[in-house]
């Protein structure tokens, strides 16, 4: 553990150059692990303490996968910054450690267990199959099925989705929580791309709610370029299209991180729509 502290720069509660958010994102995307599970915070909530606790609790195959992933990340940032190796024989010592771990009988850690996954992979595969099958449904049935799929997808990632609900004179297709903020949802599956009128109508619904309410507009057919330009900048809406959904499901990207990155890009640029494949380049 002292050696791991040294190569992954875990002194003072840190882990390499990770923030709390990027560490959670790394573990979710690279390992499908929820590093924020309270079980790993028994000795403290700092990144270093959570990682040490995690390595001592999970099964050996998971430890090996984690160390390999962290090493690849470490080497990528070290080479990018052209930083000299600061730990003597670091790679050789890590490989030796991995060999010892992989040769260790699993019974030696009888109390260990696989970590809690960040998401249910089988459920995601089922949702991806459902999404592809919606084209066979009638327009009305497809609309209801699309809303239900979004609700299930939000819940897979712990976003506490609510059923569609009706207020006086208006229909809201649902809501969810993201980083403590409430988002209302507008979902459309139609042949035509969504234009500025629908975007303004949805934004008008948000303006009738509390000042902190935000919105996610999901249009399976996408949005017209003219509509996005006319809608303007600095609104309380982020947008997602069918290709975004497909990329999220097929690449097993955690939806909460996809939405967080969309929100951040909107905050930086003022624009409501950024494609998933641009936010998460391969």
Token pair, residue 161, equals 């989705």
Are residues 97 and 132 both part of a single domain?
A: no
Distance separating alpha carbons of residues 234 and 271, to the nearest angstrom:
7
Query: Is residue 192 domain-resident?
Result: yes
Q: 245 and 220 in contact (C-beta within 8 Å)?
A: yes
- Give 71: exposed, middle or buried? Use CB within 10 Å, 0-12, 13-18, 19+: middle
The dihedral region occupied by 181, where left means phi > 0, alpha psi between -120 and 50, and beta the remainder, is beta
- For residues 147 and 203, state if they share a domain: yes
Do 58 and 130 belong to one domain?
no
Our count of domains for the chain comes to: 2
Task: Tell whether 84 and 145 lie within a shared domain.
Answer: no
Give the residue from 109, 134, 168 where a domain finishes.
Answer: 109
Give the structural domain span for 196.
121-279
Could you read off the pLDDT of 23-73 as tens digits, one per residue? 998 998 889 899 988 899 999 999 999 999 999 999 999 999 999 999 999
What pTM was estimated for this model as a whole? 0.65
Tell me the H-state helices in the chain: 2-7, 20-31, 47-57, 60-81, 90-102, 121-133, 139-156, 196-207, 225-231, 242-250, 255-269, 276-279
Report the pLDDT value the prediction gives residue 108, as an integer from 0 to 100. 41
Those residues with Cβ within 8 angstroms of residue 227's Cβ, 6 or more apart along the chain or in another chain: 193, 194, 195, 196, 197, 198, 199
Task: Indicate if 80 and 151 belong to the same structural domain.
Answer: no
Q: Are residues 136 and 214 in the same domain?
A: yes
Beta bridge partners of 58: 113
- Tell me if 116 is assigned to some domain: no
Task: Kindly state whether residue 114 falls inside one of the protein's structural domains.
Answer: no
CATH of residue 273: 3.40.1350.10
Average pLDDT of the chain to the nearest whole number: 87
One domain, residues 157 and 275: yes
Any idea which of 113-122, 130-139, 204-213, 229-238 has the lowest mean pLDDT? 113-122
Is the predicted pLDDT of residue 122 greater than 90, yes or no?
Answer: no
Is the separation of the CB atoms in 262 and 245 below 8 Å? no
Rounded distance between C-alpha atoms, residue 53 and residue 88, angstroms = 25
Q: What is the pLDDT of residues 5-15, one digit of tens each?
A: 999 999 888 99
Residues 181 and 83 in one domain: no
d(CA 139, CA 189): 8
Cβ-contact 48, 16 below 8 angstroms: no
142, 261: one domain: yes
On the question of pLDDT at 167 being above 60, the answer is no
pLDDT tops 50 at residue 109:
no
Residue 145: what are its φ and ψ, rounded to 5°? -65, -35
Among 60, 77, 109, the domain boundary falls at 109
Domain-terminating residue out of 109, 140, 170:
109
């Amino acid at each position: 553990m002292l050696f791991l502290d040294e190569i992954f720069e875990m002194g003072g509660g840190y882990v390499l150059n990770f923030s709390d958010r990027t560490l959670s994102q790394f573990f979710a995307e690279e390992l499908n692990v929820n590093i924020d599970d309270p079980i790993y915070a028994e000795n403290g909530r700092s990144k270093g303490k959570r990682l040490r606790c995690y390595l001592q609790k999970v099964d050996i195959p998971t430890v090996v996968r984690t160390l390999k992933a962290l090493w690849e990340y470490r080497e990528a940032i070290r080479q990018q910054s052209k930083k000299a190796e600061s730990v003597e024989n670091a790679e050789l010592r890590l490989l030796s450690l991995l060999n010892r771990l992989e040769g260790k009988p699993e019974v030696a850690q009888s109390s260990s267990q696989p970590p809690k996954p960040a998401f249910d992979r089988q459920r995601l595969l089922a949702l991806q199959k459902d999404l592809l099958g919606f084209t066979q449904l009638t327009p009305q049935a497809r609309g209801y099925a699309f809303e239900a799929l979004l609700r299930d997808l939000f819940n897979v990632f712990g976003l506490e989705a609510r059923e569609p609900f009706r207020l006086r004179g208006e229909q809201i297709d649902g809501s969810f929580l993201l980083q403590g903020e409430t988002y209302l949802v507008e979902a459309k599956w139609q042949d035509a791309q969504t234009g500025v009128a629908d975007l303004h109508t949805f934004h008008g619904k948000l303006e009738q709610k509390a000042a902190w309410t935000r919105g996610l507009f999901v249009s399976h057919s996408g949005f017209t370029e003219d509509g996005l330009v006319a809608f303007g900048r600095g609104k309380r809406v982020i947008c997602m299209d069918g290709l975004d959904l497909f990329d999220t499901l097929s690449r097993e990207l955690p939806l909460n991180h996809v939405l967080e990155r969309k929100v951040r890009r909107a905050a930086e640029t003022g624009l409501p729509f950024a494609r998933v494949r641009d936010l998460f380049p391969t």
